[in-house]
Amino acid sequence: MTLLLEMKNITKKYGDFTANHNINFDVRKGEIHALVGENGAGKTTLMRMLYGMEEPTSGSIMINGKEVHFHDPSEAIRQGIGMVHQHFMLFPSFTLAENIVIGGEPKRSGLFDRKAAADKVNELGQMYGMPVDPWRKAGDCPLGVQQRTEILKVLYQGADVIILDEPTGVLTPSEVKELLQSIKRLAAQGKSFILITHKLHEVMEAADRITVLRDGVITGHMESNTTDEEKISRLMVGRDLIPMSRVANEPGASVMHVQNVTLAGAKGAKPLLDNVTLTVRQGEIVGIAGISGNGQSELLQVISGLVQPDSGIVELNGKDVTGDSVRAIREQGMAHIPEDRYMWGASREATVLDNGLMGHQHQYKKGGLIQSHKLRKVVSGWVERFAIKTGSLDTQAQFLSGGNLQKLIAAREFAQNKPFLIAAEPTRGVDVGAMETIHGELLAKCKTGDGILLVSSELTEILKLSDRVLVMYEGAIAGELSAAEATEEQISLLMAGGKRQL
């Protein structure tokens, strides 16, 4: 295969901090090259240099054997490099066609020819097997379609090398599968991909070659068929991961019980929650699997008191808490790691300290004032215990990486020390190290006899941690599997609305 792109001896320094040290990285025509590493390992910095958003301190970038210097992204785009950012760069009120052709809009007699744009998009979709409806508004499309639009956009720009930055973080399992198939097909048609991720099973499935980064240096470089997930994660983390196993506890009394909960949907639509009954007992982790949007969010909102059910009751430690305020429910014995850390879990603008205070405010209050010296001690304890990388306790939460913010939220909720914990997508978008920490804490909490309700769209997570697995489909519990019965196939079948096979 011909060498398309070469980054030679790239070093990037920010003051005294070296983000990338002497990195050699290359891409061949028609290959998928995975770039893996934990958050802060320097993957994004390297790609920003390739995409012209940063300039290297030293080193050179060659495309087709010729040295290039990029000062801004449009120059990189002209040289055939395209990037799909982790947070999508779409215009929600524009149509998909508009989003795709922007920057190279077809014109007719001086005006924007939207018909031609739509035709062009249909043609592209056909050619690469990624059809989209050109006239739909981007904001109304599911995330999988938005991602497809992003890829079509860089293809429209004429990209030969496409950088995908954490492309699967927000997608459902079936969307992930579809995406990986699409990029494999595109690679077969001669496009090259740089896949930035820390999900190793996706790397193993799609990538031809793998480069591992840790702390700004390359720690490994290999062909995917000569390696395995364990080897890669060792290179990423720099030590062996402690193998974790669930020790089955004898579950005790019920800590949380939901009885026949129903929540009506929009008029004429199916109910959001359809007669849901479930119990979480002391010392067990109950996993809820399901394709997102099948009622998991609503169930959590009902349990945590954010939404009142139309019928049914929620019991916490044997007490009926239906209709109680969120605060009352939390005080009755519930902690909650919410599913979306930016929307529900933390305030971007607030400091690490203030985010740590949330939910603990009544505990650190004296005469109406917050006792910040006490709180400071507690939060810095969390930072140490969970190895949260932050400048200081007064850093704004938005400057923390996703994984570190998630660890902060998890630490805060673990510190509530309540007998029942909701853990919703506790490790979404976090790296292997953070995942290990959070999983370890969840198992430890369960061991002390507390009950945990785990909601996750990652089947591996569900299978690894749960004592029982409930699958939700269209607002109802489609089936229950014990840890022994639960396999990926069984769960997937129930998730898709199939019947349980015995």
Quick one: 67 or 340, whose CB is closer to other proteins? 340
Binding test (CB under 8 A) with other proteins, winner from 38, 54, 98, 441: 98
Binding test (CB under 8 A) with other proteins, winner from 31, 105, 133, 178: 105
The distance of closest approach from Cβ of residue 105 to other proteins in the complex, given in angstroms and rounded to an integer, is 5
The distance of closest approach from Cβ of residue 70 to other proteins in the complex, given in angstroms and rounded to an integer, is 11
Asked if residues 113 and 101 have their Cβ atoms less than 8 Å apart, the reply is: no
The distance of closest approach from Cβ of residue 85 to other proteins in the complex, given in angstroms and rounded to an integer, is 7
Binding span for other proteins by CB under 8 A among 85-93, 377-385, 408-416, 474-482: 85-93
Query: What gap in Å lies between CA 247 and CA 250, rounded to an integer?
Result: 10
Binding span for other proteins by CB under 8 A among 28-36, 105-113, 184-192, 484-492: 105-113
Query: What gap in Å lies between CA 231 and CA 400, rounded to an integer?
Result: 28
The distance of closest approach from Cβ of residue 138 to other proteins in the complex, given in angstroms and rounded to an integer, is 10
Query: What gap in Å lies between CA 211 and CA 203, rounded to an integer?
Result: 11
Quick one: 297 or 437, whose CB is closer to other proteins? 297
User: Comparing C-alpha atoms, which of 325, 329, 309 is closest to residue 261?
Assistant: 309
Binding test (CB under 8 A) with other proteins, winner from 91, 223, 225, 381: 91
Write b or e for each residue in 251-287: b if 16 or more Cβ atoms lie within 10 A of its Cβ, otherwise e: beebbbbbbebbbeeeeeeebbbbebebbbbbbbbbb
Quick one: 93 or 347, whose CB is closer to other proteins? 93
Query: What gap in Å lies between CA 456 and CA 465, rounded to an integer?
Result: 11
| 3-state DSSP assignment of residue 399 | helix
Q: Which of residues 336-355 bind other proteins (CB under 8 A)?
A: 339-340, 343-344
The size of the chain, in residues, is 502
- For residue 330, count other CB atoms closer than 10 A to its CB: 19
DSSP 8-61: EEEEEEETTEEEEEEEEEEEETT-EEEEE--TTSSHHHHHHHHTTSS--SEEEE
Query: What gap in Å lies between CA 179 and CA 184, rounded to an integer?
Result: 9
User: Comparing C-alpha atoms, which of 166, 244, 207, 258 is closest to residue 441?
Assistant: 244
The distance of closest approach from Cβ of residue 336 to other proteins in the complex, given in angstroms and rounded to an integer, is 14
Q: Which of residues 54-83 bind other proteins (CB under 8 A)?
A: 72-74, 77, 83
230 binds other proteins (CB under 8 A): no
90 binds other proteins (CB under 8 A): yes
The distance of closest approach from Cβ of residue 473 to other proteins in the complex, given in angstroms and rounded to an integer, is 15
Binding test (CB under 8 A) with other proteins, winner from 170, 276, 383, 438: 170
Residues making contact with other proteins (CB under 8 A): 53, 72-74, 77, 83, 85, 89-94, 98, 102-103, 105, 107, 110-112, 143, 170, 172, 292-293, 297-298, 339-340, 343-344
